[in-house]
Amino acid sequence: SEFSSGMGRPSLVAVLNDMEKSSKPIVAAIDGVALGGGCEVSLGCHFRVASTRTQIGLPEVNLGLLPGAGGTQRMPRIIGVESAIDFMCSGVPVPAAGAAKVGIVDKVIEGDKAAVLKGAVDFAASKVGAEVRRLCDVTAKSPGNDVFDKKRKQYAKARPGEAAPQAIITCIAASTDRAFDQGMQVEGKEFKLLMAGDQSKALQYMFFAERECAKIPGLSAKPGPMEHVGVIGAGLMGGGIAMCCAEAGMKVTLLDVDAKNLERGMNVIKKNYQRSVERKSKTQAKVDALLSLIQPSTKYEDFANCDIVVEAVYENMDLKKKIFATLDQVCKPGCMLASNTSYLNIDAIASATKRPEDVIGCHFFSPANVMKLLENVRGTKTSPKTIATAMAFGKKIKKITCLVGNC
């Protein structure tokens, strides 16, 4: 990638400038994800057609960078300055429908790649003889210095200490008060400063490390089913794990042998979700649907059909062994039996069962519904299928998942 080998020649900036100067209409046919440079390529085209499944974004801020191929100059010329700042400083992609609504995409096509290609060809044919639309010929309208000041304060608070959001705002401001070529000079200068800085190097390292840690050399086993999860312990950790699983669309049985603890735990979950409604990050309908997936129980027999069971009680070896011996009796063959222990020996816990190959550690960090890391701990006898299931489980609940040894 350009992160390790540097930018190739000709530069993407030069290619897009040549594309944009074409007198013939160029239509971007977008299917799937168009992030970063892919999005900038589409902006260098005169028109954009996308499939319904398309996601479009400029997430460079998450790598400590800014869009360096004209994104900071072309995007505000389409969607306006304030929207462009939020689009780039959040780094969150938008679906095709949302992109069309704000004008990034000219037409959304139902169907697969072939349908999008045909739609783009037809769209280009409809523009023959018409004047092409070059974003470099447009000037972004300035919303006023007060808006730029407000946005700087907003992202200084949202992303404290990060240089990239402030640099992005500087570049977008340049799209409003000077010619396109001069704005590109500002973008190039700010990009080089960020690229050479420690923040971007650290964030790029983290980006690739997070993806590398999910790869297990030599693991060819396929994961087992992950439709129904049992969670033991309705405390802060167990409740958080239950929320993670429900939000991944999994059916959850939350068990606590103490009915009062179970009721208290369910109330905490409900309060957490109610705060989401109040913050408007979730609708009441969404919360109701999530809560319907979490069924409280005081009986281990309700784990009979679970594909995965995660134990999340306090750190006591005798108690955990007792629980796993019970799970050995009630859970179906092949059910993954996981302990959330942070330091107890997984092999010792597995010894309480007749199926140590199904036992693994799944160490969440508190609060489990917020913290991103999941540490899977393999025991001496943990099977490849159980490891594959634990890694797939982490991915399904959107955790950064790594595999470690027992110690």
Would you list the DSSP string of 77-137?
Answer: HHH-HHHHHHHHHH---EEHHHHHHHTS-SEEE-S-HHHHHHHHHHHHHHTTTSPP--GGG
Q: What are the start-end ranges of the E strands in 216-259?
A: 228-232, 251-255
**Percent of the chain's residues with pLDDT above 70:** 98
- Phi/psi region, residue 311 (left: phi>0; alpha: psi -120 to 50; beta: rest), is beta
Evaluate if residue 3 carries a pLDDT over 70. no
* pLDDT tier at 309, thresholds 50, 70, 90: very high
User: What pLDDT sits at residue 6?
Assistant: 58
Cβ–Cβ < 8 Å for 269, 295: no
Cα-Cα-Cα-Cα torsion 355, 358, 359, 365, nearest 10 degrees, comes to -160
Evaluate if residue 4 carries a pLDDT over 70. no
pLDDT tens by residue, 128-145? 888 888 999 988 888 888
Distance CA 188, CA 195 (A): 10
Closest among 11, 7, 48 to 30, alpha carbons compared: 48
Task: Name the token pair of 278.
Answer: 């109040």
Evaluate if residue 290 carries a pLDDT over 80. yes
The pLDDT of 149-162, averaged and rounded, is: 96
**Percent of the chain's residues with pLDDT above 90:** 86
Q: How far apart are the two ends of the chain, measured CA to CA in Å?
A: 36
274's enclosing H/E stretch is: helix 259-278
DSSP state for residue 397 in the 8-state scheme: T
User: What pLDDT sits at residue 139?
Assistant: 86
Instruction: Return the minimum-mean-pLDDT range out of 86-100, 136-150, 327-341.
Output: 136-150
User: What pLDDT sits at residue 132?
Assistant: 85
pLDDT tens by residue, 215-273? 999 999 999 999 999 999 999 999 999 999 999 999 999 999 999 999 999 999 999 99
The pLDDT of 12-36, averaged and rounded, is: 91
Cβ–Cβ < 8 Å for 380, 199: no
User: What pLDDT sits at residue 133?
Assistant: 86
CB contact set of 50 (below 8 Å; sequence gap of 6+): 29, 30, 31, 34, 56, 96, 99, 100, 105, 107, 108, 109, 116
- Phi/psi region, residue 32 (left: phi>0; alpha: psi -120 to 50; beta: rest), is left
Confidence (pTM): 0.77
The pLDDT of 287-305, averaged and rounded, is: 97
Evaluate if residue 162 carries a pLDDT over 80. yes
* pLDDT tier at 406, thresholds 50, 70, 90: confident
Q: Among all residues, which ones are annotated catalytic?
A: 40, 60
Distance CA 231, CA 360 (A): 14
Evaluate if residue 211 carries a pLDDT over 90. no
* pLDDT tier at 214, thresholds 50, 70, 90: confident
Instruction: Return the minimum-mean-pLDDT range out of 6-15, 81-90, 288-297, 310-319.
Output: 6-15
